[in-house]
Amino acid sequence: MPPGYGPPPQGLAAAGYPGMYGAPEAPITSVEGLLQLSLGTYFVRYTSTSLSLDNNGGDLSRTDLNWGFSTTSPVFIEGGYGITDKLVIGGLVQLGGVSSSTEAEMAGAKIESSGFDLLLAPKVDYHFMPTSKINPFVGGMLGVEINSVSPLAAAGMSTDDSQTSFMLLARGGLRCFLFDGFSIDPALVVGFRIGSGTTSPPAGAPDLDYSVSGFRIGLSVSMSGWLKI
């Protein structure tokens, strides 16, 4: 009997028989042996920071809420390798920056400022449903973050601030495989930081050292390509 006629072999859909016999779709989301390359950013990010000045200089607190794909949202590049169908190891580089200039024509004053943010962190992700097109995952990262802010005034006044912190990040999200080798990855990210910083006041005043701590929570969105190597 030629292929395509009669019942398929018991327990499976043999090659050559039409899909009407219920042949299962081949899994497309297993990441084992695949190289991950991702590009993403934050859609919403809330940050709370506490500063404690040395020598009993007092404490400062600050909160920030950034939403939308704006200039204040850092971009991260992520890479990984699937050592099993559930476990991916790799790393993340996060870059952010801003530059602005304000000029008052009547006063003849011009103020420029710039900021820079860099995060380097190894990462590990665990996938729960490696044969599903919607694949939940959790992950963790431990890295170093460097922040620098330099407001400059035309009159020669300047205040430079730099921070170095250790970051612990945890996240949970979904890898939504739109087609073989490509996924959209929304995730909820929670992070904690602890470190130190230095502020250089204007007019030759001595530097101020301080300790910094805080947390952040945000919703990230990234696109991942999965390549066989």
| pLDDT of 26 above 90 | no
- pTM metric for this prediction: 0.75
| pLDDT of 41 above 50 | yes
Q: Could you write out the DSSP letters of every residue in 98-111?
A: EEEEEEETTTTEEE
pLDDT recorded at residue 86: 94
pLDDT recorded at residue 121: 95
Banded pLDDT at 165 (limits 50, 70, 90)? very high
List the domains of the chain with CATH numbers. 29-228 (2.40.160.20)
Q: At which residue do the structure tokens 């995730």 appear?
A: 187
| pLDDT of 28 above 70 | no
Mean pLDDT of the chain: 80
Per-residue pLDDT reduced to its tens digit, 173-203: 999 999 888 999 999 999 999 998 888 776 6
pLDDT recorded at residue 199: 80
More confident of the two residues 152 and 52: 52
* Max mean pLDDT range (22-26, 29-33, 133-137): 133-137
**Angle, alpha carbons 189-193-195 (nearest 5°):** 160
pLDDT recorded at residue 80: 97
Chain centroid, CA 176 distance in Å: 17
Nearest to 195 by CA among 207, 206, 210: 210
